[in-house]
Amino acid sequence: MSNTNTQVYDLLVSAGRVVCPATGFDGPGTVAVRGDRIVAVGDQVDGSAREVLDFPDAMLLPGLVDMHAHPAREGSKYGVDPDVHFLPRGVTTVLSQGDAGAGNWARYRESIIEGAQTRVRMAINLSVTGESIPTSGCFENLDDVDVDACVAAIKDGGEAIWGIAANIAKSCAGDNDPREILNRALAAGNQTDRPLLFGTRREADFTLAEQLELLRPGDVITYCFHNDLDCLVEDGRIKAEVWEAREKGILFDIGHGMNSFHFDVAEVAIANGFLPDTISTDQYIRHVDSTPQHDLPRTLSKLLAAGMTEADALARITVHPAEFLGLSGEVGTLAPGACADLAVLWFNEDALPLQDVKGLERSGGCWEPILTVRAGKIV
């Protein structure tokens, strides 16, 4: 007779350290997977499996969640294939920052939302063209900033469209009035009950304080640790209007990218107790084949080097962005019943130095990906 107490799984993954910020588990352990679900996790998981993996010198986390990047196979001047450039780097869920707008949303849904192994959600571009025009900013033609078209696309997209991308920097808006673009974004957000993924102006013509006054609870400011004009920090402290915005419920995201992460701002903010709500890469086509490779584990490592505690930083690439994307319980957790998305990282003490966008370096080693599991399947 078979022993009915012996569990048989599809996959067992053990690690010297298993960390789930959502449940508080942190220690040596094993995650058991059956089908596309996590069915057990702990320091004593009994049973056999068709495939058993053990990483005694590594850390096993829920699949990482990148709150701002550019997953796209076509139609976006910034896009990279998420299954090639995110999934093997431990990222199982990613939010697109405006790669498509109402005019090319249907094709994006087919190609990426439905066609990628990576779980992708969309912050749809307020411009109907998305980021499809290589030679100009998405908001340079105000006729493309179409509230009605954006609202219709969101109603069509349902849960796949999390929110609305609106970057009112001069590089996006050209000579147009940034207030008009923000007002249209807010109108679309209010009509659809969707938050904004918002890039601030960074110009004297529209102050950060004015922008924060207009934003709503749940809106997300990305590129939060840039050091351009009107950044979050002044005279070694977080500005009063920034604290007030946080108290109002506005969220703050890293959005590292090529221009928006500076150690001097990050270190002051963290020392003042102002932590980002999410850590994201803004990873896009210019990062392909970068040396060292720009990815979410390396961005995590930079926030650790800037002074964040490990517990705070790991939550901001797992449970926090999952919650903000409306995916709690399914993503960002190792709790039984969640989707079997896993990331295994190891700490490379001899990694290339951690650099901000201006080349300022911090030492301390770097977390690097060695295994991803997406919906129970090894990547």
CATH architecture for segment(s) 64-324: Alpha-Beta Barrel (3.20)
Q: Residue 65: which H helix or E strand, with range?
A: strand 64-69
Residues ≥6 apart with Cβ < 8 Å to 112: 71, 72, 73, 82, 96, 99, 120
State the Cα–Cα distance between residues 215 and 256, nearest whole angstrom. 21
- 26: β partners: 19
Query: Given this model, what pLDDT does residue 364 score?
Result: 81
State the Cα–Cα distance between residues 118 and 120, nearest whole angstrom. 6
Half-sphere exposure of 134 (CA within 13 A, CB side): 5
Task: Give the residue ranges of DSSP H helices in the chain.
Answer: 82-85, 105-108, 147-157, 170-173, 178-192, 208-214, 240-248, 263-271, 296-305, 310-315, 319-324
Query: Given this model, what pLDDT does residue 2 score?
Result: 30
Third-level CATH fold of 8-62+337-378: Urease, subunit C; domain 1 (2.30.40)
Closest CA to 120 of 97, 99, 93, 102: 93
Residue 269 phi, psi dihedral angles, 5° rounding: -60, -50
Query: Given this model, what pLDDT does residue 363 score?
Result: 85
Query: What is the reported pTM?
Result: 0.97
Q: In the chain, which residues have pLDDT < 70?
A: 1-5
pLDDT in tens, 318-330: 999 999 999 999 9
* Boundaries of every domain in the chain: 8-62+337-378, 64-324
